[in-house]
Amino acid sequence: MSSVPERSEIDESYKWDLESIFEDDDAWAATYEDIGDRIDELRAYEGRVTESAETLLELLELREEVFRELARVATYPQLRSAEDTRNQEYQAMAAKASSLRSEASSATSYFEPELQSLSEDDVEAFIETEPELATYEHYFDDVLRMKPHTRSTEVEEVLAELSEVTDAPSEIYSMLTNADMTYGVVEDPDGEEVEITQANFTKLQTNPDREFRRRVHETFYDEWADVRNTVGTSLEKAVREHVTSAEIRNYDSARAAALDGSNVPVEVYDTLVDTVDDNLDALHRHAELKEAALGVDQLESHDLYMSLTGDQGPDVEYDQAAEWVIEAVAPLGEAYQERMAEGLESRWVDVYENRGKRSGAFSSGTYDTQPFIMMNYQDDVSSMYTLAHELGHSMHSELAGDAQPWHDASYEIFVAEIASTVNETLLTHYLLENVEDEELRTHVLDEYLERFRSTLFRQTMFATFEQRIHERVEDGEALTPDAFDEMYADLKGDFYEPAELTGGIEREWQRIPHFYYDFYVYQYATGISAAAAIVERVLEEGEPAAADYREMLKAGGSDYPLGVVERAGIDMSSPDPIESAAGIYREYLDEVAALLDLE
């Protein structure tokens, strides 16, 4: 039986270096205690925030010291727990860190309400008195603009203390799906038993044997059927928390509240959904090409991940993937390229799947640490693209951290998903231009089309579903597993019109953790649209456009997202980048159709 290894069986060189955060658990515990002792120092400033410019600066600097250390204390057990979600010791440490974060947030809950008592003229006068406050200008502007949605100090303190409770649906879902659930075992075409996991499910859905794909698909979604009430309840509670929080803060909707956090107009969301909806015929054509490539009378749900080439493609081992990704980013400049290579040598990446490891992939870290990338690398083209994607996030953090003070270094997801997808797009161009292996080239083209399908179209489908389930609660209607199934199946049918929905695909919403993240997924779709436009500029104009893009990365959170992206020459308030991305998708569909003689 093909099985997932234990973590101890994986070579250290393919594991991230968490000792660079804390040498050991004892060092973590000591810092944890130190932070606890300093929280009372933060409380001592209550009622004094606007006392003087000097006092405000003192508090801002103390707040930074505490929260920078708190970030390290919270990140370490989170990453240790991701290594093996069954490890209850690190779960407990993560819970303690979360409680400490809540305590610190509660201790400073007075800060922004008091700061909002100042006018813009008052802030300018403080800066004139204490010039070191000038570095906080964007932060002050961001706080003051939120005045209509900030409650009293007492209410803000209660909301801060409740954060552990309001995060419960997401944490319960994560424990259920990563630590407790199993997803079945199937027999592969060679007669060997294969364990299905969240990490390998998509790859198994690209197996050339259609009957095997069907068995994997049905087995996987049958497991989800057994927990549909639990998952349905957890998601319903998460949606209600989003809606209630928005109401408490005087927003018209949960979506408006979520987007206002980063100052992205809801019109950007609507423009994305409308523009993608206008281009669904391109997605339908992709499905029809798959139907032709597979030689089937009717495309079904277990066929949707299949390559247009009809097979899984060549293996791409991790070391080869890392080499190609580094070479691909050369258009962004030698310094960018060298920094990425050094990061890979410094064990930024936790490469392979192990038993109990969290599914998926992410880039994490803090202002005072190196980046950390979690993967479940599967030796395929898709995993190579995931590596490029997460390295884009990590390089973004590195450049922003170098260029910005702590309070302006953290960037919004809206911008982050551009950085990750620029790397993917550059990788596509590099491989199509430099790799002679025709099989690999064909699979690269197919993979990039899949990235467009899953990022521009699928994520917009998710965004539409997310909007609808929140609107249902806002309209006073019930959210049940049956309601989730029905709404999801309707959307899936619209987006994948040529395919017949089979094998429990209406339950796919259960396996999407991003629905707990409060209007997060739309930014994947806007990200790929902006990235395609940026890469087009870089390849056409060279270093001047690359320099603009690097300035966008270095800006971090020193401006609002639309303003940051404008530094790279892209206007995301317009439908043009989305229309352009859909146009590129159509061009690649034409190219692959001609290459494989599918029409």
Catalytic (active-site) positions: 390
Residues in the chain: 599
**Count of Cβ atoms closer than 10 Å to residue 102 Cβ:** 17
Whole-angstrom Cα distance, residue 177 to residue 1? 22
Whole-angstrom Cα distance, residue 323 to residue 303? 31
Q: Which of 301, 277, 279 is nearest to 290 (CA)?
A: 301
Residue 573 is given by DSSP the state: T
Q: Which residues contact 471 (CB under 8 A, 6 or more apart)?
A: 253
Token pair, residue 136, equals 């906080």
Whole-angstrom Cα distance, residue 575 to residue 555? 24
Whole-angstrom Cα distance, residue 65 to residue 37? 13
Q: Which of 95, 56, 50 is nearest to 77 (CA)?
A: 95
Q: Is 191 left (phi over 0), alpha (psi -120 to 50) or beta?
A: left
Whole-angstrom Cα distance, residue 54 to residue 49? 10
DSSP 456-490: IIIHHHHHHHHHHHHHHHHTT----HHHHHHHHHH
| Contact criterion met (CB below 8 Å) for 196 and 216 | yes
Q: Degrees (nearest 5) of the Cα angle 523, 527, 532?
A: 160
DSSP 543-565: HHHHHHHHHHHHHTTSS-HHHHH
Give the CA dihedral 338, 440, 512, 556, nearest 10 degrees.
Answer: 20
HEC letters along 518-539: CCCCHHHHHHHHHHHHHHHHHH
Burial of 335 by CB count in 10 Å (0-12 exposed, 13-18 middle, 19+ buried)? exposed
Q: Is 47 left (phi over 0), alpha (psi -120 to 50) or beta?
A: left
Residue 179 is given by DSSP the state: I
